Amino acid sequence: MAELRITDVRKAYDRIQALSGVDLTVRSGTLVAVLGPSGAGKTTLLRCIAGFETPDAGEIRIDGRRVATRGASVPPERRRIAVVPQEGALFPHLSVLGNVTYGLGRSARRAGRAATVLELVGLAGFEGRMPHHLSGGQQQRVAVARALAPHPPVVLLDEPFNALDAALRAELRRDVRQALRADGATAVLVTHDQAEALSVAEEIAVMRDGRIVQSGPPELLYREPADPWVAGFVGEAVWLPATADGDRAHTPLGTIRLTPVEGRLPTGPMRVLLRPEQITLAPPGDPDAIAATVVRRDFYGHDAMLVLRLTDGTHVTARIFDPAALPPAADDEVALRVRGTARMFPPSARPGATPSHP
C-alpha cells in the first residue's frame, strides 16, 4: 500500500480535453471513488494512473516516487498497479488458484498468499474451480483476489460491479470493500453510480468535464455539496426559493435552519437545498406544520417517495420511511415538517442533474 498523489494532470486527445487539471490524493490504505457522468474523464484518469496513457502535463506520484510527468512515464509493469476491470479479467484455461497465483513469486506462493486473498474475498475452498464454473459475482471476487495477491501499491477498480444485477452488486461491493480494508489496500474505484460511491468509499472525488469539482467524505458531499450540480449528482435534491435571515431562511416550507457556508450566513434572497428524507409527515396538532396536497406516490417497499404541492404551487419530493403510515392516494391533504438544516446557494444557482430514485 502506498499514497497516490495526482497533481494538475492534463490529457487531450486531438481537440478533446479529457483531463483539464486533475488534483487528487489517495491516502495510504484508503478507498477513494472517482464519481462522474459519462465522458467526465474517469477512464482516462485511471489509464494515466495505471501507465497506459502518459499525461500531457502534471505529475503522478506513488509513495513519493514520480511515475508520470509531462511526456515521461514509468511503464505499467514497473508501476505494479493492479487493475480490476468490469468483467472478463480471468484466464479461462487456469483454475481459480492458477489465476490468483499467476505472476506471483515463489516465496509469495509458499507464504500462502493465495489462500489469504481467497479467504478475504469469501472464496476459500474454490481453488480448483475453473472460471466457467463460477457465477459472474464469483469471477469478480477472483479478479479482486488476483489483484490483491502481489501486494500492489495501488488497486484500480474500473466499474467492477457493472455487469451484475442489483442485489448481487450490493453484496459484492460490501465484501470487496471489506477485503480491501482488511488487506490495507490503497484503492481507486471508478464509477458513475452515486449509491455505489456513497456506500463504499471513504472519500469521493466528483469529476466533471475533466476536473475534480469536489472531494471529501460521502456524508460531507451529500450534506454540503459545493454547487447545485454536485448536489443533484450525488443525490436527489429539493430546491426552494428562500430569504435568508441570520441562521434561518423563510421558504414555502416554512422557516428552515441554515447550514453555514464556510462559516458564514449571508442574508437576502437564496435558493436552499433539502434532501427528500428531510421532509416528513408532521404529527397531528403540530403548530408549525405546512399544508400540502399529494400529487403522486411511488412505493418502493423499504420507503416511498411523495410528490407534494404546497399552497403556493411549489412542488417538493418527500421520502417516507414508514410506507405503512402513508396517506393512501393522490389528492390527499397532508401536513409536513422539515428536519435538520438546509444548504443555501445564490438565487441564480441552477439545479444540476437529478439521479433517479435508487
Ligand X SMILES: Nc1ncnc2c1ncn2[C@@H]1O[C@H](COP(=O)(O)OP(=O)(O)OP(=O)(O)O)[C@@H](O)[C@H]1O
Least Å distance between CB 351 and ligand X?
A: 22
Judged by CB under 6 A, the residue of 1, 6, 9, 18 near ligand X is: 18
Counting residues that bind ligand X (by CB under 6 A) gives 12
CB 315 within 8 A of CB 274: no
Judged by CB under 6 A, the residue of 7, 43, 116, 259 near ligand X is: 43
C-alpha span between 89 and 159 (Å, rounded):
13
Least Å distance between CB 233 and ligand X?
A: 13
Least Å distance between CB 49 and ligand X?
A: 12
Going from the C-alpha of 61 to that of each of 33, 42, 216, the distances in angstroms are: 18, 18, 20
Smaller CB separation from ligand X, 13 or 283: 13
Q: Which of residues 178-237 bind ligand X (CB under 6 A)?
A: 192
Least Å distance between CB 118 and ligand X?
A: 30
Going from the C-alpha of 49 to that of each of 19, 54, 239, the distances in angstroms are: 12, 9, 38
141 makes contact with ligand X (CB under 6 A): no
Smaller CB separation from ligand X, 348 or 356: 356
Smaller CB separation from ligand X, 200 or 338: 200
36 makes contact with ligand X (CB under 6 A): yes
55 makes contact with ligand X (CB under 6 A): no
Least Å distance between CB 110 and ligand X?
A: 39
C-alpha span between 45 and 4 (Å, rounded):
13
Closest CA to 308 of 330, 284, 286: 330
**Interior angle at CA 48, CA 42 and CA 50, nearest 5:** 105
Contacts by 113-119, CB closer than 8 A, 24 or more apart: 113/149, 113/150, 114/145, 114/149, 117/145, 117/146, 117/148, 117/149, 117/179, 117/183, 118/142, 118/145
Smaller CB separation from ligand X, 40 or 304: 40
152 makes contact with ligand X (CB under 6 A): no
Binding site for ligand X (CB under 6 A): 13, 16, 18, 36, 38-44, 192
